[in-house]
Amino acid sequence: MDQIKTGQFLKTLRNEKGMTQEELARHFNVSSRTVSRWETGSNLPDISLLTEIADFYDVDVREIIDGERKSEMMDKEVREVADKMATYAGHEKTHLMTVVQIAGVVGVVVTLVAVVLQTLTYEPDLRKSGALMLTFLSFVLMSVITLFVTGILQKIGKRKKLVKVVKIVTIVLIALVTNYVIVSMSVVSLAALSFFAAPKKVIKDPAEYNNYFHNESLKGTEYSYGNLPIFDVMPENISGLDVEEFQIFYYNPWDPQYITYMTIDYKDAYDKEMARLAAIGVEEYAGNYSVTGEPVGYDLLAMDADEHDGFVYAMIPEDREGNTKITYVGIVFCDYFLDVNVHDYMPDKYLLPGFDASINNPHKKKMEKETYAQTGLPE
């Protein structure tokens, strides 16, 4: 079979009818591109259309297949066979199209539900934003395919006003989702910028103590956390005291974080400070952030423990004979975790045994679970 010859024959027949490809396409409810492919020989008419084309041009099916006119017409038996084959093919095609249409509708519903669920549970995140955008594009693509296979798209295409409305609605939806993702990504980007741009300050000069703690002028500044009651364990002022070791680590990516320790030799003022700390007392702390007890070799004098913010405590060596030194430790943060490794900024001997404030620490998971249970929100 010579497809090129058949195509030329179909073109000749169309020209004899005085029709354009677009007019012929409308007659057989196909696209003009399909007609063009018939006539160039790159494709052949579907078998279900073959007899219709033959009747339309008043030729024999065999003449179309052979690409030339015959002297005799197709006899009744051959025509009946062709008609039955066309009917059979039509039934098969209809059945297949029904399956495709059902699958298309189900696909549209599923992708729509996915878009809604992702939108309701959305939190600014690069991967979640990308997933939401891809899901929405899948919904649009699935909708277009479904409209096409059900024939609705072709009907819409004949109504210019309706086409315009569909285009506007589609553009608006895409713009809304794009804007939603862009805004969300901007929030993520700003948060990331804040996180990476925030300086990690390590202060080793005791003269800067009141620039971070117990200073009313800090109110309204990023260092205002230094006036929180949890820091009452630490001295009001250390000016004039014998500070043997001192370090403040301060980091504020979006919430302040303090990791500080200092040892002060009080000498003659030792008893006075011991009395102040005794009045504060040791608050129950075991269990918070996996802590099991006091640091090895030390006795706690005072402790302010917060299941959200962390710990500030004062301690002395167990062997206290002749001791006049007190060590203060503060590890204060927000949202149940530190953004840094505490071991990088604190001697292990001063840490409470078992202390874990890493990003996925057990205490954080426990507190978040309790919060979700109280609010009724899904975890």
Write a three-state SS string for the chain: CCHHHHHHHHHHHHHHHCCCHHHHHHHCCCCHHHHHHHHHCCCCCCHHHHHHHHHHHCCCHHHHHHCCCCCCCCCHHHHHHHHHHHHHHHHHHHHHHHHHHHHHHHHHHHHHHHHHHHHHCCCCCHHHHHHHHHHHHHHHHHHHHHHHHCCHHHHHHCCHHHHHHHHHHHHHHHHHHHHHHHHHHHHHHHHHHHHHHCCEEEECCHHHHHHCCCCHHHCCCCCHHHHCHHHHHCCCCCCCCEEEEEEEEEECCCCCEEEEEEEEECHHHHHHHHHHHHHHCECCCCCHHHCCCCCCCEEEEEEEEECCCEEEEEEEECCCCCCCEEEEEEEECCCCCCCCCHHHCCCHHHCCCCCCCCCCCHHHHHHHHHHHHHHCCCC
Last residue within a domain, chosen from 30, 49, 74: 74
Q: What is the pLDDT of residue 62?
A: 80
Q: What is the pLDDT of residue 37?
A: 87
Residue 342 near residue 357, CB atoms below 8 Å: yes
Nearest in space to 339 (alpha carbons), one of 360, 359, 353: 359
| CA–CA distance, 314 with 266 (Å, rounded to integer) | 13
Question: For the chain, how far is it from start to end, CA to CA, in angstroms?
Answer: 66
Q: Is residue 118 over pLDDT 80?
A: no
* Residue 171: band (very low, low, confident or very high) from pLDDT cuts 50, 70, 90: confident
Q: 249 has which bridge partners?
A: 202, 259
Residue 366 near residue 291, CB atoms below 8 Å: no
Q: What is the pLDDT of residue 17?
A: 86
Both 184 and 210 in one domain: the answer is no
Q: What is the pLDDT of residue 260?
A: 97
Both 223 and 344 in one domain: the answer is yes
Both 110 and 182 in one domain: the answer is yes
| CA–CA distance, 60 with 52 (Å, rounded to integer) | 11
Q: Is residue 230 over pLDDT 90?
A: yes
What percent of the chain stands above pLDDT 70? 75
* Residue 96: band (very low, low, confident or very high) from pLDDT cuts 50, 70, 90: low
Residue 225 near residue 332, CB atoms below 8 Å: yes
| CA–CA distance, 320 with 299 (Å, rounded to integer) | 9
* Residue 355: band (very low, low, confident or very high) from pLDDT cuts 50, 70, 90: very high
List CB contacts of 353: < 8 A, sequence separation 6 or more.
Answer: 291, 292, 293, 294, 295, 296
- The residue type of 45 is P
Both 289 and 276 in one domain: the answer is yes
Q: Is residue 180 over pLDDT 70?
A: no
Last residue within a domain, chosen from 196, 223, 249: 196
pLDDT mean across residues, the chain: 82
Structure tokens belonging to residue 176? 């809304």
Both 245 and 316 in one domain: the answer is yes
Both 180 and 252 in one domain: the answer is no
Number of domains within the chain:
3
Last residue within a domain, chosen from 196, 227, 249: 196
Both 272 and 226 in one domain: the answer is yes
In the sheet that holds 310-317, the strands lie side by side as 200-203, 242-251, 257-265, 325-332, 310-317, 298-306
Both 138 and 56 in one domain: the answer is no
Structure tokens belonging to residue 118? 């992702």
Both 215 and 355 in one domain: the answer is yes
Both 127 and 247 in one domain: the answer is no
* Residue 80: band (very low, low, confident or very high) from pLDDT cuts 50, 70, 90: low
Q: What is the pLDDT of residue 157?
A: 57
Q: What is the pLDDT of residue 53?
A: 87
CATH number, domain containing residue 66: 1.10.260.40
Q: What is the pLDDT of residue 316?
A: 97
Q: Which residue has the higher pLDDT, 152 or 5?
A: 5
Both 88 and 68 in one domain: the answer is no
- Residue 304: left if φ>0, alpha if ψ -120 to 50, beta else—which one? beta
Q: What is the pLDDT of residue 270?
A: 96
pLDDT tens per residue across span 36-79:
888 888 888 887 788 888 888 888 888 888 888 775 544 555 55
| CA–CA distance, 216 with 210 (Å, rounded to integer) | 10
Q: What is the pLDDT of residue 278?
A: 97
Both 144 and 57 in one domain: the answer is no
Q: Is residue 173 over pLDDT 60?
A: yes
> What is the arithmetic mean of pLDDT over 354-369?
92
- The residue behind tokens 């426990």 is 366
Structure tokens belonging to residue 16? 């004899």
Q: What is the pLDDT of residue 348?
A: 97
Q: Which residue has the higher pLDDT, 112 or 100?
A: 112
Q: Which residue has the higher pLDDT, 48 or 294?
A: 294
Q: What is the pLDDT of residue 328?
A: 98
pLDDT tens per residue across span 183-195:
655 655 555 555 5
Q: How far is CA 307 from CA 194, 228, 351, in A?
A: 26, 15, 16
> What is the arithmetic mean of pLDDT over 197-214?
93
> What is the arithmetic mean of pLDDT over 306-313?
94
Residue 337's domain comprises 200-375
pLDDT tens per residue across span 236-289:
999 999 999 999 999 998 889 999 999 999 999 999 999 999 999 999 999 999
Strands 325-332, 298-306: parallel, antiparallel or unpaired by DSSP?
unpaired
Q: Is residue 124 over pLDDT 60?
A: no
